[in-house]
Structure 1
Protein backbone atom coordinates (compact mmCIF):
# COMPACT_ATOMS: atom_id res chain seq x y z
CA UNK A 1 0.00 0.00 0.00
CA UNK A 2 1.67 3.26 -1.11
CA UNK A 3 2.00 6.02 1.51
CA UNK A 4 0.03 9.27 1.16
CA UNK A 5 3.32 10.97 0.23
CA UNK A 6 4.24 8.52 -2.53
CA UNK A 7 4.83 9.54 -6.12
CA UNK A 8 4.54 7.08 -8.99
CA UNK A 9 7.36 6.76 -11.50
CA UNK A 10 8.11 4.39 -14.37
CA UNK A 11 11.16 3.19 -16.29
CA UNK A 12 11.00 1.83 -19.83
CA UNK A 13 12.83 -1.10 -21.32
CA UNK A 14 13.04 -1.42 -25.11
CA UNK A 15 15.14 -2.51 -28.08
CA UNK A 16 15.71 0.53 -30.28
CA UNK A 17 16.62 -0.02 -33.93
CA UNK A 18 17.73 2.07 -36.92
CA UNK A 19 14.16 3.16 -37.66
CA UNK A 20 13.04 6.45 -36.12
CA UNK A 21 9.35 5.81 -36.81
CA UNK A 22 9.38 2.31 -35.31
CA UNK A 23 11.10 3.54 -32.14
CA UNK A 24 8.65 6.42 -31.81
CA UNK A 25 5.72 4.00 -32.12
CA UNK A 26 7.17 1.89 -29.28
CA UNK A 27 7.77 4.96 -27.12
CA UNK A 28 4.24 6.22 -27.79
CA UNK A 29 2.77 2.95 -26.58
CA UNK A 30 4.92 2.97 -23.43
CA UNK A 31 4.02 6.58 -22.64
CA UNK A 32 0.31 5.75 -22.79
CA UNK A 33 0.87 2.69 -20.60
CA UNK A 34 2.78 4.71 -18.00
CA UNK A 35 0.21 7.51 -17.99
CA UNK A 36 -2.61 4.97 -17.54
CA UNK A 37 -0.72 3.50 -14.58
CA UNK A 38 -0.64 6.93 -12.93
CA UNK A 39 3.08 7.62 -13.37
CA UNK A 40 4.15 11.28 -13.09
CA UNK A 41 7.47 10.57 -14.80
CA UNK A 42 8.52 7.98 -17.40
CA UNK A 43 12.23 7.41 -18.01
CA UNK A 44 13.45 6.11 -21.38
CA UNK A 45 16.84 4.48 -21.98
CA UNK A 46 19.86 5.86 -23.78
CA UNK A 47 19.42 6.02 -27.57
CA UNK A 48 15.64 5.60 -27.23
CA UNK A 49 14.95 7.26 -30.60
CA UNK A 50 17.65 5.56 -32.70
CA UNK A 51 20.34 2.88 -32.60
CA UNK A 52 22.42 2.57 -35.76
CA UNK A 53 23.78 -0.59 -37.29
CA UNK A 54 27.36 0.63 -36.83
CA UNK A 55 29.24 3.23 -34.78
CA UNK A 56 28.74 6.74 -36.06
CA UNK A 57 25.46 6.04 -37.90
CA UNK A 58 23.61 8.20 -35.40
CA UNK A 59 25.46 11.33 -36.56
CA UNK A 60 23.35 11.25 -39.74
CA UNK A 61 20.08 11.50 -37.77
CA UNK A 62 21.29 14.02 -35.17
CA UNK A 63 19.10 17.09 -34.79
CA UNK A 64 18.95 20.17 -32.54
CA UNK A 65 16.70 20.03 -29.48
CA UNK A 66 14.14 22.19 -31.26
CA UNK A 67 14.08 19.88 -34.30
CA UNK A 68 11.23 17.63 -35.49
CA UNK A 69 12.37 14.45 -33.70
CA UNK A 70 12.44 16.02 -30.23
CA UNK A 71 9.24 17.92 -31.01
CA UNK A 72 7.47 14.58 -31.54
CA UNK A 73 8.46 13.44 -28.07
CA UNK A 74 7.52 16.79 -26.57
CA UNK A 75 4.06 16.30 -28.07
CA UNK A 76 3.88 12.84 -26.47
CA UNK A 77 4.53 14.34 -23.04
CA UNK A 78 1.94 17.06 -23.57
CA UNK A 79 -0.76 14.72 -24.92
CA UNK A 80 -0.41 12.30 -21.99
CA UNK A 81 0.33 14.97 -19.34
CA UNK A 82 3.46 13.16 -18.14
CA UNK A 83 7.07 14.18 -17.55
CA UNK A 84 9.60 12.35 -19.73
CA UNK A 85 13.27 11.59 -19.15
CA UNK A 86 14.67 11.21 -22.66
CA UNK A 87 18.13 9.82 -22.09
CA UNK A 88 20.77 9.73 -24.77
CA UNK A 89 19.17 11.78 -27.56
CA UNK A 90 21.34 12.32 -30.62
CA UNK A 91 21.70 16.10 -30.50
CA UNK A 92 23.44 17.85 -33.39
CA UNK A 93 27.04 18.69 -32.49
CA UNK A 94 29.24 21.67 -33.25
CA UNK A 95 30.42 20.15 -36.54
CA UNK A 96 28.99 17.68 -39.09
CA UNK A 97 31.16 14.79 -37.80
CA UNK A 98 29.97 14.90 -34.17
CA UNK A 99 26.87 14.79 -32.01
CA UNK A 100 26.13 15.23 -28.32
CA UNK A 101 24.67 12.33 -26.33
CA UNK A 102 22.06 14.40 -24.53
CA UNK A 103 19.67 13.60 -21.68
CA UNK A 104 16.58 15.79 -22.02
CA UNK A 105 13.89 16.37 -19.39
CA UNK A 106 10.48 17.34 -20.80
CA UNK A 107 7.60 18.39 -18.53
CA UNK A 108 3.92 17.48 -18.81
CA UNK A 109 3.22 20.51 -21.01
CA UNK A 110 5.88 19.49 -23.54
CA UNK A 111 8.41 22.09 -22.40
CA UNK A 112 12.10 21.17 -22.21
CA UNK A 113 13.05 21.81 -18.59
CA UNK A 114 16.70 20.81 -18.74
CA UNK A 115 19.34 18.97 -20.74
CA UNK A 116 22.60 17.25 -19.85
CA UNK A 117 25.32 16.25 -22.32
CA UNK A 118 27.07 12.99 -21.45
CA UNK A 119 30.48 13.70 -19.95
CA UNK A 120 32.11 10.25 -19.86
CA UNK A 121 32.34 8.67 -23.32
CA UNK A 122 32.45 4.91 -23.85
CA UNK A 123 35.90 4.23 -25.34
CA UNK A 124 36.36 0.62 -24.26
CA UNK A 125 37.65 -2.72 -25.49
CA UNK A 126 35.01 -4.95 -23.89
CA UNK A 127 36.51 -8.26 -22.68
CA UNK A 128 35.16 -11.01 -24.92
CA UNK A 129 33.25 -8.41 -26.92
CA UNK A 130 33.96 -5.61 -29.36
CA UNK A 131 35.80 -2.30 -29.30
CA UNK A 132 33.73 0.86 -28.77
CA UNK A 133 34.96 4.39 -29.53
CA UNK A 134 32.15 6.79 -28.69
CA UNK A 135 34.53 9.76 -28.73
CA UNK A 136 35.09 9.29 -32.48
CA UNK A 137 31.65 10.75 -33.17
CA UNK A 138 30.52 12.32 -29.88
CA UNK A 139 31.47 15.56 -28.13
CA UNK A 140 31.76 15.24 -24.33
CA UNK A 141 29.68 17.51 -22.13
CA UNK A 142 31.10 19.65 -19.34
CA UNK A 143 28.27 20.58 -16.96
CA UNK A 144 26.70 18.73 -14.03
CA UNK A 145 22.91 19.14 -14.25
CA UNK A 146 20.06 18.76 -11.75
CA UNK A 147 16.47 19.95 -12.19
CA UNK A 148 13.37 20.23 -10.01
CA UNK A 149 10.32 18.12 -10.90
CA UNK A 150 7.06 16.92 -9.31
CA UNK A 151 8.86 13.80 -8.08
CA UNK A 152 11.81 15.60 -6.54
CA UNK A 153 15.10 17.08 -7.62
CA UNK A 154 16.47 15.01 -10.48
CA UNK A 155 20.19 14.39 -11.06
CA UNK A 156 20.98 13.66 -14.71
CA UNK A 157 23.52 11.25 -16.15
CA UNK A 158 23.89 8.83 -19.07
CA UNK A 159 25.10 5.19 -19.09
CA UNK A 160 28.93 5.13 -18.84
CA UNK A 161 28.78 7.97 -16.31
CA UNK A 162 27.66 5.25 -13.88
CA UNK A 163 31.28 4.09 -13.47
CA UNK A 164 32.40 7.51 -12.23
CA UNK A 165 30.99 8.10 -8.72
CA UNK A 166 32.28 11.68 -8.58
CA UNK A 167 29.45 12.94 -10.78
CA UNK A 168 26.85 11.44 -8.45
CA UNK A 169 28.62 12.84 -5.39
CA UNK A 170 28.39 16.30 -6.96
CA UNK A 171 24.74 15.77 -7.86
CA UNK A 172 23.93 14.84 -4.26
CA UNK A 173 26.15 17.09 -2.18
CA UNK A 174 26.40 20.21 -4.36
CA UNK A 175 23.21 20.06 -6.46
CA UNK A 176 20.94 18.47 -3.80
CA UNK A 177 19.56 15.69 -6.00
CA UNK A 178 17.00 13.31 -4.49
CA UNK A 179 16.49 11.06 -7.54
CA UNK A 180 19.28 9.99 -9.88
CA UNK A 181 18.40 9.09 -13.48
CA UNK A 182 20.66 6.65 -15.34
CA UNK A 183 19.37 5.96 -18.88
CA UNK A 184 21.60 3.29 -20.39
CA UNK A 185 22.50 0.84 -23.12
CA UNK A 186 24.95 -1.38 -21.21
CA UNK A 187 26.62 -4.12 -23.21
CA UNK A 188 25.65 -7.71 -22.47
CA UNK A 189 29.10 -8.46 -21.00
CA UNK A 190 29.46 -5.40 -18.77
CA UNK A 191 25.81 -5.45 -17.78
CA UNK A 192 25.96 -9.02 -16.51
CA UNK A 193 29.05 -8.19 -14.45
CA UNK A 194 28.37 -4.73 -13.08
CA UNK A 195 24.97 -3.16 -13.90
CA UNK A 196 22.98 -3.90 -10.75
CA UNK A 197 25.84 -3.59 -8.28
CA UNK A 198 26.91 -0.18 -9.62
CA UNK A 199 23.36 1.16 -9.54
CA UNK A 200 22.78 -0.02 -5.97
CA UNK A 201 26.13 1.43 -4.92
CA UNK A 202 25.21 4.85 -6.38
CA UNK A 203 21.88 4.75 -4.50
CA UNK A 204 23.50 3.78 -1.19
CA UNK A 205 26.41 6.23 -1.28
CA UNK A 206 24.21 9.21 -2.27
CA UNK A 207 21.07 8.19 -0.34
CA UNK A 208 19.01 8.88 -3.46
CA UNK A 209 16.45 6.96 -5.44
CA UNK A 210 17.91 5.65 -8.70
CA UNK A 211 15.82 5.13 -11.84
CA UNK A 212 17.70 3.19 -14.50
CA UNK A 213 15.96 2.66 -17.85
CA UNK A 214 17.75 0.17 -20.06
CA UNK A 215 18.04 -0.86 -23.67
CA UNK A 216 17.77 -4.62 -24.12
CA UNK A 217 18.38 -7.36 -26.67
CA UNK A 218 19.93 -7.32 -30.14
CA UNK A 219 19.84 -4.07 -32.11
CA UNK A 220 21.46 -5.70 -35.14
CA UNK A 221 24.27 -8.10 -35.99
CA UNK A 222 26.94 -6.31 -33.97
CA UNK A 223 25.26 -4.74 -30.95
CA UNK A 224 23.45 -6.23 -27.97
CA UNK A 225 22.29 -4.57 -24.74
CA UNK A 226 21.91 -6.17 -21.31
CA UNK A 227 18.51 -4.85 -20.22
CA UNK A 228 17.21 -5.03 -16.63
CA UNK A 229 15.47 -1.68 -16.01
CA UNK A 230 15.52 -0.95 -12.26
CA UNK A 231 14.14 1.44 -9.66
CA UNK A 232 16.18 1.46 -6.43
CA UNK A 233 15.50 3.23 -3.14
CA UNK A 234 18.02 5.24 -1.02
CA UNK A 235 18.78 2.19 1.14
CA UNK A 236 19.86 0.24 -1.96
CA UNK A 237 16.74 -1.93 -2.14
CA UNK A 238 15.31 -2.72 -5.57
CA UNK A 239 11.68 -1.55 -5.50
CA UNK A 240 10.90 -1.99 -9.19
CA UNK A 241 12.08 -4.47 -11.81
CA UNK A 242 10.63 -5.98 -14.98
CA UNK A 243 9.94 -9.75 -14.86
CA UNK A 244 12.75 -10.37 -17.35
CA UNK A 245 15.65 -8.58 -19.01
CA UNK A 246 14.53 -8.99 -22.63
CA UNK A 247 10.94 -7.80 -22.80
CA UNK A 248 9.80 -4.37 -23.95
CA UNK A 249 7.67 -2.69 -21.32
CA UNK A 250 7.66 -0.49 -18.24
CA UNK A 251 8.35 -1.02 -14.57
CA UNK A 252 6.32 1.12 -12.15
CA UNK A 253 7.12 1.98 -8.55
CA UNK A 254 5.94 4.42 -5.88
CA UNK A 255 8.71 6.52 -4.38
CA UNK A 256 8.51 8.53 -1.17
CA UNK A 257 10.76 11.54 -0.67
CA UNK A 258 10.13 11.41 3.09
CA UNK A 259 12.03 8.11 3.02
CA UNK A 260 14.98 9.96 1.47
CA UNK A 261 14.86 12.39 4.39
CA UNK A 262 14.59 9.54 6.90
CA UNK A 263 17.62 7.68 5.54
CA UNK A 264 19.67 10.87 5.50
CA UNK A 265 18.69 11.82 9.04
CA UNK A 266 19.56 8.42 10.46
CA UNK A 267 22.90 8.28 8.64
CA UNK A 268 23.96 11.94 8.19
CA UNK A 269 26.83 11.46 5.77
CA UNK A 270 26.35 14.97 4.33
CA UNK A 271 27.43 16.41 7.70
CA UNK A 272 30.14 13.82 8.30
CA UNK A 273 31.98 14.09 4.97
CA UNK A 274 35.57 15.19 5.49
CA UNK A 275 37.48 17.30 2.96
CA UNK A 276 40.23 15.27 1.35
CA UNK A 277 43.25 16.81 -0.32
CA UNK A 278 43.83 14.28 -3.10
CA UNK A 279 47.11 15.86 -4.19
CA UNK A 280 48.49 15.62 -0.66
CA UNK A 281 47.27 12.03 -0.32
CA UNK A 282 48.93 11.10 -3.62
CA UNK A 283 52.29 12.40 -2.43
CA UNK A 284 52.36 10.39 0.82
Structure 2
Protein backbone atom coordinates (compact mmCIF):
# COMPACT_ATOMS: atom_id res chain seq x y z
CA UNK A 1 0.00 0.00 0.00
CA UNK A 2 1.29 3.45 -0.89
CA UNK A 3 0.50 6.04 1.79
CA UNK A 4 1.17 9.78 1.69
CA UNK A 5 1.76 11.93 4.77
CA UNK A 6 0.68 15.56 4.39
CA UNK A 7 2.66 17.59 6.93
CA UNK A 8 1.30 21.12 6.84
CA UNK A 9 0.71 24.23 8.94
CA UNK A 10 -2.93 25.18 9.30
CA UNK A 11 -4.24 28.56 10.33
CA UNK A 12 -7.49 29.62 12.01
CA UNK A 13 -9.61 29.80 8.83
CA UNK A 14 -11.12 26.47 7.71
CA UNK A 15 -11.71 27.60 4.12
CA UNK A 16 -8.06 28.53 3.61
CA UNK A 17 -6.93 25.23 5.10
CA UNK A 18 -9.02 23.36 2.53
CA UNK A 19 -6.69 24.63 -0.18
CA UNK A 20 -3.75 23.02 1.63
CA UNK A 21 -5.61 19.72 1.78
CA UNK A 22 -6.55 19.94 -1.88
CA UNK A 23 -2.97 20.65 -2.91
CA UNK A 24 -1.59 17.84 -0.75
CA UNK A 25 -4.20 15.37 -1.98
CA UNK A 26 -3.47 16.21 -5.60
CA UNK A 27 0.24 15.70 -5.05
CA UNK A 28 -0.37 12.42 -3.23
CA UNK A 29 -2.59 11.11 -6.03
CA UNK A 30 -0.04 12.09 -8.66
CA UNK A 31 2.53 10.07 -6.73
CA UNK A 32 0.28 7.01 -6.86
CA UNK A 33 -0.83 7.01 -3.23
CA UNK A 34 -3.87 5.00 -2.19
CA UNK A 35 -4.35 7.16 0.89
CA UNK A 36 -3.20 10.53 2.22
CA UNK A 37 -3.21 11.42 5.92
CA UNK A 38 -3.24 15.00 7.16
CA UNK A 39 -2.69 16.14 10.75
CA UNK A 40 -5.00 16.70 13.66
CA UNK A 41 -6.60 20.16 13.50
CA UNK A 42 -6.35 20.34 9.72
CA UNK A 43 -9.64 22.24 9.79
CA UNK A 44 -8.28 24.97 12.09
CA UNK A 45 -5.23 25.23 14.29
CA UNK A 46 -5.38 24.95 18.07
CA UNK A 47 -5.63 28.37 19.68
CA UNK A 48 -8.65 29.10 17.47
CA UNK A 49 -12.05 29.35 19.24
CA UNK A 50 -13.05 25.82 18.28
CA UNK A 51 -16.78 26.09 18.95
CA UNK A 52 -16.95 28.92 16.40
CA UNK A 53 -15.43 26.86 13.58
CA UNK A 54 -16.83 23.40 14.37
CA UNK A 55 -19.17 21.88 11.78
CA UNK A 56 -21.11 18.62 11.60
CA UNK A 57 -19.84 15.71 9.54
CA UNK A 58 -22.37 16.57 6.84
CA UNK A 59 -21.41 20.25 6.85
CA UNK A 60 -19.67 22.22 4.10
CA UNK A 61 -16.09 21.65 5.30
CA UNK A 62 -16.39 17.87 5.49
CA UNK A 63 -18.27 17.78 2.20
CA UNK A 64 -15.48 19.78 0.58
CA UNK A 65 -12.96 17.19 1.80
CA UNK A 66 -15.19 14.48 0.32
CA UNK A 67 -15.19 16.30 -3.01
CA UNK A 68 -11.38 16.59 -2.90
CA UNK A 69 -11.03 12.86 -2.20
CA UNK A 70 -13.49 11.95 -4.94
CA UNK A 71 -11.77 14.15 -7.50
CA UNK A 72 -8.36 12.66 -6.70
CA UNK A 73 -9.66 9.11 -6.45
CA UNK A 74 -7.91 8.36 -3.15
CA UNK A 75 -8.83 8.16 0.53
CA UNK A 76 -8.26 11.29 2.61
CA UNK A 77 -7.89 11.35 6.40
CA UNK A 78 -7.94 14.79 8.03
CA UNK A 79 -8.56 16.27 11.47
CA UNK A 80 -11.57 18.50 12.03
CA UNK A 81 -13.84 19.66 14.87
CA UNK A 82 -17.50 18.74 15.17
CA UNK A 83 -20.05 20.14 17.64
CA UNK A 84 -20.61 18.19 20.86
CA UNK A 85 -23.88 18.19 22.79
CA UNK A 86 -22.55 20.16 25.78
CA UNK A 87 -21.21 23.24 24.01
CA UNK A 88 -17.79 21.77 23.51
CA UNK A 89 -16.53 20.14 20.30
CA UNK A 90 -15.23 16.70 19.41
CA UNK A 91 -11.74 16.34 17.98
CA UNK A 92 -12.61 14.25 14.95
CA UNK A 93 -10.73 12.45 12.21
CA UNK A 94 -12.68 12.29 8.97
CA UNK A 95 -11.80 9.39 6.66
CA UNK A 96 -13.39 9.58 3.25
CA UNK A 97 -12.78 8.46 -0.30
CA UNK A 98 -13.39 5.47 -2.58
CA UNK A 99 -15.13 2.81 -0.49
CA UNK A 100 -14.46 4.60 2.81
CA UNK A 101 -16.65 6.83 4.96
CA UNK A 102 -15.84 6.91 8.69
CA UNK A 103 -14.99 9.21 11.56
CA UNK A 104 -13.05 8.82 14.80
CA UNK A 105 -13.48 11.02 17.87
CA UNK A 106 -10.30 11.42 19.91
CA UNK A 107 -10.53 9.28 23.04
CA UNK A 108 -7.61 10.59 25.14
CA UNK A 109 -7.68 14.35 25.65
CA UNK A 110 -4.53 16.42 26.08
CA UNK A 111 -4.83 17.58 29.67
CA UNK A 112 -1.08 17.84 30.18
CA UNK A 113 1.91 20.16 29.91
CA UNK A 114 -0.15 23.15 31.00
CA UNK A 115 -2.93 22.66 28.45
CA UNK A 116 -6.47 21.41 29.14
CA UNK A 117 -8.04 20.13 25.94
CA UNK A 118 -11.04 18.84 27.89
CA UNK A 119 -12.12 22.42 28.61
CA UNK A 120 -13.22 22.77 25.00
CA UNK A 121 -13.26 19.20 23.66
CA UNK A 122 -15.46 16.24 24.63
CA UNK A 123 -13.82 12.80 24.60
CA UNK A 124 -14.83 10.04 22.24
CA UNK A 125 -15.21 6.42 23.29
CA UNK A 126 -15.29 4.36 20.10
CA UNK A 127 -12.39 2.48 18.50
CA UNK A 128 -12.46 2.93 14.73
CA UNK A 129 -10.79 1.07 11.87
CA UNK A 130 -11.18 1.52 8.13
CA UNK A 131 -10.56 -0.81 5.20
CA UNK A 132 -8.68 0.60 2.23
CA UNK A 133 -8.28 -1.80 -0.71
CA UNK A 134 -8.70 -4.74 1.62
CA UNK A 135 -6.17 -3.47 4.18
CA UNK A 136 -7.41 -2.64 7.68
CA UNK A 137 -6.09 0.53 9.34
CA UNK A 138 -6.76 1.99 12.79
CA UNK A 139 -7.36 5.68 13.51
CA UNK A 140 -5.76 7.59 16.39
CA UNK A 141 -5.11 11.21 17.30
CA UNK A 142 -2.07 12.83 18.93
CA UNK A 143 -2.24 12.26 22.74
CA UNK A 144 -3.66 8.79 22.03
CA UNK A 145 -0.06 7.78 21.30
CA UNK A 146 0.66 7.67 25.05
CA UNK A 147 -1.88 4.87 25.52
CA UNK A 148 -0.72 1.53 24.07
CA UNK A 149 -4.03 -0.23 24.65
CA UNK A 150 -5.64 1.68 21.76
CA UNK A 151 -2.99 0.51 19.31
CA UNK A 152 -3.32 -3.08 20.56
CA UNK A 153 -7.08 -2.77 20.08
CA UNK A 154 -6.45 -1.84 16.45
CA UNK A 155 -4.29 -4.95 16.07
CA UNK A 156 -6.96 -7.10 17.74
CA UNK A 157 -9.47 -5.72 15.22
CA UNK A 158 -7.26 -6.88 12.36
CA UNK A 159 -5.40 -3.65 11.59
CA UNK A 160 -1.87 -3.82 10.19
CA UNK A 161 -1.27 -0.09 10.64
CA UNK A 162 -2.42 2.83 12.75
CA UNK A 163 -2.87 6.23 11.15
CA UNK A 164 -1.89 8.75 13.84
CA UNK A 165 -2.79 12.37 13.12
CA UNK A 166 -1.22 14.89 15.50
CA UNK A 167 -0.67 18.50 16.39
CA UNK A 168 2.11 17.84 18.86
CA UNK A 169 2.87 20.34 21.59
CA UNK A 170 6.32 21.91 21.46
CA UNK A 171 8.68 22.14 24.42
CA UNK A 172 11.84 20.69 25.95
CA UNK A 173 12.16 17.00 25.21
CA UNK A 174 8.93 16.81 23.22
CA UNK A 175 10.60 15.76 19.94
CA UNK A 176 12.38 12.91 21.73
CA UNK A 177 9.09 11.85 23.30
CA UNK A 178 7.31 11.96 19.95
CA UNK A 179 9.79 9.66 18.27
CA UNK A 180 10.03 7.33 21.27
CA UNK A 181 6.26 7.01 21.55
CA UNK A 182 5.50 6.36 17.89
CA UNK A 183 8.21 3.69 17.79
CA UNK A 184 7.02 2.14 21.05
CA UNK A 185 3.42 1.91 19.87
CA UNK A 186 4.56 0.12 16.71
CA UNK A 187 6.38 -2.41 18.88
CA UNK A 188 3.53 -2.76 21.40
CA UNK A 189 1.05 -3.77 18.73
CA UNK A 190 3.40 -4.92 15.94
CA UNK A 191 1.72 -2.57 13.49
CA UNK A 192 2.97 0.08 11.13
CA UNK A 193 2.51 3.54 12.64
CA UNK A 194 1.93 6.33 10.14
CA UNK A 195 2.46 9.41 12.33
CA UNK A 196 1.58 12.73 10.70
CA UNK A 197 2.16 15.93 12.66
CA UNK A 198 1.49 19.56 11.95
CA UNK A 199 4.66 21.21 10.67
CA UNK A 200 6.39 23.66 13.01
CA UNK A 201 4.53 26.98 12.54
CA UNK A 202 7.52 28.96 13.84
CA UNK A 203 9.46 27.83 10.80
CA UNK A 204 6.80 29.44 8.61
CA UNK A 205 7.07 32.78 10.38
CA UNK A 206 4.01 32.31 12.57
CA UNK A 207 4.05 33.73 16.09
CA UNK A 208 3.19 30.94 18.51
CA UNK A 209 1.82 32.08 21.87
CA UNK A 210 0.50 30.22 24.89
CA UNK A 211 0.45 26.47 25.40
CA UNK A 212 -1.77 25.42 22.49
CA UNK A 213 -0.24 22.40 20.72
CA UNK A 214 0.50 23.65 17.23
CA UNK A 215 2.92 21.02 15.95
CA UNK A 216 6.65 20.37 15.66
CA UNK A 217 6.75 18.45 12.37
CA UNK A 218 8.92 15.32 12.18
CA UNK A 219 6.26 13.03 10.77
CA UNK A 220 7.34 9.40 10.75
CA UNK A 221 6.62 6.08 9.08
CA UNK A 222 7.53 3.37 11.59
CA UNK A 223 7.65 -0.33 10.75
CA UNK A 224 6.10 -3.05 12.91
CA UNK A 225 9.56 -3.79 14.28
CA UNK A 226 9.80 -0.24 15.68
CA UNK A 227 12.31 1.05 13.15
CA UNK A 228 11.82 4.41 11.47
CA UNK A 229 11.59 3.81 7.74
CA UNK A 230 10.81 7.32 6.48
CA UNK A 231 10.81 10.76 8.08
CA UNK A 232 10.25 14.46 7.51
CA UNK A 233 11.90 17.39 9.28
CA UNK A 234 10.08 20.35 10.83
CA UNK A 235 8.99 22.05 7.59
CA UNK A 236 5.82 21.40 5.56
CA UNK A 237 6.09 18.62 3.02
CA UNK A 238 4.55 15.54 1.44
CA UNK A 239 6.10 12.16 2.18
CA UNK A 240 5.06 9.16 0.10
CA UNK A 241 5.92 5.74 1.46
CA UNK A 242 5.27 2.17 0.37
CA UNK A 243 4.06 0.06 3.30
CA UNK A 244 4.55 -3.72 3.11
CA UNK A 245 1.44 -5.00 4.87
CA UNK A 246 2.74 -8.60 4.76
CA UNK A 247 5.65 -7.61 6.98
CA UNK A 248 3.29 -7.41 9.96
CA UNK A 249 2.66 -11.17 9.95
CA UNK A 250 6.38 -11.87 9.67
CA UNK A 251 7.20 -9.62 12.62
CA UNK A 252 4.41 -11.09 14.72
CA UNK A 253 5.76 -14.58 14.08
CA UNK A 254 9.13 -13.55 15.49
CA UNK A 255 7.93 -11.18 18.22
CA UNK A 256 4.74 -12.63 19.60
CA UNK A 257 3.86 -9.85 22.05
CA UNK A 258 0.18 -9.98 21.17
CA UNK A 259 -0.06 -13.74 21.44
CA UNK A 260 1.96 -13.76 24.68
CA UNK A 261 -0.30 -11.32 26.53
CA UNK A 262 -1.87 -12.60 29.76
CA UNK A 263 -5.14 -10.73 29.60
CA UNK A 264 -6.53 -12.30 32.76
CA UNK A 265 -3.74 -10.96 34.98
CA UNK A 266 -4.93 -8.09 37.19
CA UNK A 267 -3.40 -6.07 39.98
With structure 1 as the length reference, what TM-score do the two structures score? 0.86
Kindly indicate whether residue 135 of structure 2 is the aligned counterpart of residue 157 of structure 1.
no
CA distance in 2, matches of 1:9, 1:75: 19
Uncovered stretches (5+) of structure 2, i.e. residues with no partner: none
**Equivalent residue in structure 2 for 1:141, among 112, 118, 124:** 124
Q: Which has the larger radius of gyration?
A: 1
Q: Secondary structure at the match of 1:78?
A: helix
Structure 1 counterpart of 2:165:
183
Structure 2 counterpart of 1:3:
none
Structure 1 counterpart of 2:92:
102
CA distance in 2, matches of 1:105, 1:25: 17
Q: Secondary structure at the match of 2:239?
A: strand
User: Is the Cα–Cα contact under 8 Å of residues 189 and 258 in structure 2 kept in the other structure?
Assistant: no
The 5 Å alignment of 1:193-272 reads 193-218=176-201, 220-222=207-209, 223=212, 224-242=214-232, 244-245=233-234, 247-272=235-260
Structure 2 counterpart of 1:67:
59
Q: CA deviation at 1:234?
A: 0.7
The 5 Å alignment of 1:26-45 reads 26-45=20-39
Uncovered stretches (5+) of structure 1, i.e. residues with no partner: 1-6
Q: Deviations over 1:198-230 (max 9, x none)?
A: 000111121111111111223643144211111
Q: Secondary structure at the match of 1:256?
A: coil
Structure 1 counterpart of 2:3:
9
Q: Give RMSD over aligned pairs.
A: 1.6
CA distance in 1, matches of 2:134, 2:228: 18
CA distance in 2, matches of 1:63, 1:205: 35
Q: Deviations over 1:74-114 (max 9, x none)?
A: 0000000011111x31011113x2111011211236xx522
CA distance in 2, matches of 1:225, 1:271: 35
CA distance in 2, matches of 1:77, 1:105: 10
With structure 2 as the length reference, what TM-score do the two structures score? 0.91
Q: Secondary structure at the match of 1:257?
A: coil
Q: CA deviation at 1:18?
A: 0.8
Q: Deviations over 1:41-78 (max 9, x none)?
A: 00000001111545xx0110111100000000000000
